[in-house]
Amino acid sequence: MNKVVQYYEGIDEDSRFVRNSRKIEFLTTVHTLDQLMPARAKLLDVGAGTGAYSLYYAERQHEVVAVDITPKHIDRLRDKSNQQSLPLQAYVADARDLSRFAAGTFDIVLCFGPMYHLTEHEDRMRCIRECLRVLKRGGYLAIAYINKFSILPMLATRDRTFIRDSVIAKVIQDGVIKDGDEDCFWTDAYFTSPDEIEAVLEPFEVTPIAHVGTDGISHTIQHDIDQLDEQQFDAWMNYHVRTCGERSILGLSSHGLVIGQKR
């Protein structure tokens, strides 16, 4: 994971949800989660980044614990929470090892970053097992993933040098790119599909609750979405929220969110 940490140490993660085309992912995620959130939940944010979701729920007086593998992110998150005097704890930790926490501690576990970067199957399974271990029975596990079918349309609008057969094979067949490879357009990353992520959860004691495409095609057509005025953006969000659970939308969306309830 060193390459991933190095990547995030060098970028401004705070700017991720600033533009309209990017904040749709955040708005859709919290809209979906808020419908399940107890009045006062104990929540673990695994792969919290600089705390967009952690801070959102801490501001609403939920008891929030955040972990991330990137020290810079945790430092920034602690600074923000201290400035606002929020009920939030933050630690540097690996999503594959949540041994700091006892079994059955949390009402909700958010796993919004790890699936993007765990390139080995067993590491992904370890992460899910750990998330479920610390989750209470009846609690909710929410996993974010990057949809492999959105990658080539995205590259066509960002960097056409990667529109080639070798990249297509890595994304569609392997679902993995690794830093240093000539076909790597990001950092170590894992891409999956809506059907595949559902299949990953099937062996676990989890009942499916929701599955949505959190940004639809907004990330792919970002330049157009960013030019919408406030009224147009509100209308776009209305359309998006009403359709983000459609199976065809799941197949187009850049980011997906699957939620299961621990049995």
The dihedral through the CA atoms of 250, 47, 132, 106 has a sign that is negative
The Cα 81–Cα 99 span in angstroms is 24
Distances (CA, A) of 184 to 167, 171, 176: 8, 10, 9
The dihedral through the CA atoms of 205, 210, 215, 216 has a sign that is positive
Is residue 255 within 8 A of residue 215, CB to CB? The reply is: yes
- pLDDT for 167 equals 97
- CA 12, 14, 19, 20: dihedral to nearest 10 degrees? 140
Mean pLDDT for each consecutive 10-residue tract of the chain (263 residues)? 85 87 96 95 97 96 97 96 94 98 98 96 98 98 97 94 97 96 96 97 97 95 96 97 94 96 98
* Model confidence, pTM: 0.96
Distances (CA, A) of 1 to 11, 105, 188, 256: 16, 26, 8, 22
**CA-based diameter of the chain, in Å?**
51
- pLDDT for 1 equals 59
CA 23 to chain CA centroid, nearest Å = 13
Strand partners, 207: 261
What are the structural domains of the chain?
2-262 (3.40.50.150)
